[in-house]
Amino acid sequence: MICEHRPEQLKTAFALWTRPAVMALIERECGVALSIRAVGRYLARWGFTPQQPIKRAYEQSSSAVKAWLEESYLAIASRAKAEDAEIHWGDETAVVNTDVRGRGYAPKGKTPIAIAVGGTREKL
């Protein structure tokens, strides 16, 4: 059986392609059973690299973030520069007891974004 699918078809907005997921897809769509290592070699050949996705809250509004960076943050940075001050960053995510992102494959240079739901893990 000849498989009609191409590696480019994996380049979707889906956040996390793991080797087992790709292995199952190849077996389902092409009828070819491959080992995990073979799938890893194919992914590398197709230009996919193992990556940790960027964690973003599902509530995040891209337009609100952009507006804040272009307006509010510029005022804060200008004031800090005028006062010869440093800006230190912190947020509500704290230190969590588990890694919430996982690891998967994505096209080289195109880090996936994992949408996270807040408040479900122990935090310090």
As a whole number of angstroms, the distance between CA 22 and CA 45 comes to: 14
Residue 104 to residue 42: CA distance in whole angstroms: 14
Residue 63 DSSP class: H
Handedness of CA 12, 16, 21, 22 (dihedral sign): positive
Q: What's the pLDDT tens digit per position in 13-66?
A: 455 678 888 899 899 989 999 999 999 999 999 888 887 776 666 677 888 888
Which value, to the nearest 10 degrees, does the dihedral of the CA atoms of residues 33, 38, 39, 40 take? 160
Quick check: pTM over 0.85?
A: no
CA nearest neighbour of 118 among 51, 52, 55, 62: 55
Per DSSP, helices labelled H in the chain are: 19-30, 36-45, 62-70, 72-82
Res 1: pLDDT:
43
Q: Which residues, at least 6 apart from 17, have a Cβ–Cβ distance to it below 8 Å?
A: 10, 43, 48, 104, 105, 106
Residues 83-117 have pLDDT tens digits of: 999 987 766 655 555 555 567 777 877 777 666 65
Q: What is the dihedral of CA 76, 78, 83, 84, to 10 degrees?
A: 110
